[in-house]
Every structure is written in C-alpha cells, then in structure tokens.
Amino acid sequence: MNPWMLCALLPMVTFPVLVLAENRSASNSSAISKYSHGDWILNLSGFFMQGLVIPAVGLLLATYLFPSVLPKLHHCLQIGFIGAFLLNFIGVDFLYYLQHRAFHRIPWLWKLHAPHHYSPTVNVWATSRNALVTHFFFVYMLVSPILGYLCDATEGFFAGAMLTAALDLFRHSRVNVECPGLDSILLMPREHHRHHDSNKPEANYGANFILWDKLFGTFEPGDRFPSSYGASHQPSFQTQLLCPWKSI
C-alpha cells in the first residue's frame, strides 16, 4: 500500500474504534444525550474543516504557492524520515502548546476558541468542534505546511501529523485505559478532560505530550473524568459557528 495512504488511514481507523469503545460505556450514552442538534452541527462541521478543508488548503499551498515564493527552500531540511516525523510530532506539538495557552490567555483569541469549551460534554465527537474561522488560526493551517515543504522526507512529516490526529481523537474520547509508561509521556484522556472541566479549565494545554505542561507549570493530573463540562449560559450554535467574536 502507498505509504501516504497508510498514514492517512491511522486517524480513519482510530475514529470508529473509539466510537465503538465509547458506545460500550454507559457514561458515554449519558454524555451523547446532552448534545443538541446545534452541538452536532458544530461537531460535524469541525470534522469537515479539520479532516478535509485544512488538509486541502495545506496541500494547495505546498503545491502551488510555496514553490513560487520559496523555491530555494524546498527540501532544505535534510533530516530524513525520522527527523521529519519528530519535527511534526514533537516540534509542532510544542508550537501547539504555546498557541493553545494563547487561546486561553488573550481575550480575542479566547472568543475564537470558546465554542470548543462550550460543548456540554466531551467525547470523540467533540474533538474538532470549533468556530469555522478558528480552524484557520491553528498552527496546522500554515506553519505545518511550511515545515512539511521544507523537509526532505515529507512523508515522515505527514506520518507525524496523522499520529497526532489519531491521538487528538483519543484524548477527547471517554475511553478510560491504563497505559503504564506511556501515561508518563503522553496526554491521556483523563488529563485532557481535566482541561475541559468547567470548574477549573486552566491546565493541560498540550496535545501529544505532557512534557510542556510539566515544564511550564500548567500540568494537573486527571484522576477521573469531570462531572461538569461546558457553560450554563452559552450563545446559539449559529453564533458559535459563524460569529464567535460575539459570544462573550
């Protein structure tokens, strides 16, 4: 099989596996019942944006724009498959951590990010929930395509992106698993759900690794899934989806 297709299959396979695993949980059935029709529109539009639109835009940039404006920089990073993989999986992850903290600390950025935290519950379906415009502010929109364009082994960079996408689904899921060893390195669902706790959300900003949160003092252990998500009063789903700057 084409290695590009093999990498792309990782999040595609991860998603139904997590959905099936969640469906076996009584707590997830209760969680899903909290979604309104508007919540489902926000959830599914997020998957459409992050699963199709953003990758398509990145591909167009790398294929047509970057060769025109950065012709001499194509494949200038001679770091091989492993180096390109680590650049995405670790390097972009650190950039995401910094950006995620900014989304929470800077008022106008928080308005763009708030719809993700307005979700009345969190499971795999809420992974990509955001205002439409917010997707274009993520590091995955412009920074990732540029770095991928610079790498000599673009397929390695892509593999790192697909593993990150699969872990994004995992950490939003309600799958309660013990991963001895890995849970001291990677962010587990309970830790990320701690970030979504409506009572104390200012912690655990990382995506793949807990290292950044531990280095910068923002890590909080997640010993259980929160009892409360979202906000008691929130804007209409139309406002959250289309005009998040009016939401606060």
Average pLDDT for runs of 10 along the chain of length 248:
78 95 75 90 97 94 94 95 97 98 95 94 96 95 95 95 97 89 92 90 92 96 85 87 82
Range of the domain at 59: 3-21+35-246
In a domain, 30, yes or no: no
Residue 222 is predicted with a pLDDT of 82
**Which CA distances in Å does 17 have to 10, 124, 135, 166, 192?**
11, 10, 25, 11, 19
Which ranges of the chain would DSSP assign to H, the alpha helix? 3-23, 26-32, 37-48, 54-60, 66-69, 80-86, 93-105, 107-117, 143-150, 154-172, 189-196, 211-215, 237-242
The CB density around residue 216, as the number of other CB atoms within 10 Å, is 13
In a domain, 213, yes or no: yes
Angle at 102 between CA 122 and CA 32, to 5 degrees: 10
In a domain, 97, yes or no: yes
Residue 5 is predicted with a pLDDT of 75
**Which CA distances in Å does 67 have to 139, 151, 155, 158, 197?**
20, 13, 18, 18, 44
Q: Return the amino acid letter for 136.
A: F
In the chain, the number of structural domains is 1
In a domain, 74, yes or no: yes
- Identify the CA nearest to 160 among candidates 236, 225, 94: 94
Sign of CA dihedral 13, 16, 208, 185: negative
In a domain, 26, yes or no: no
In a domain, 27, yes or no: no
- Identify the CA nearest to 170 among candidates 186, 193, 189: 189
**Would you state the structure tokens that stand for residue 140, as one six-digit string?**
């995955």
Among all chains, which residue has been given the structure tokens 């001291």? 184
In a domain, 102, yes or no: yes
Residue 28 is predicted with a pLDDT of 65
Residue 179 is predicted with a pLDDT of 82
Full-model pTM: 0.94
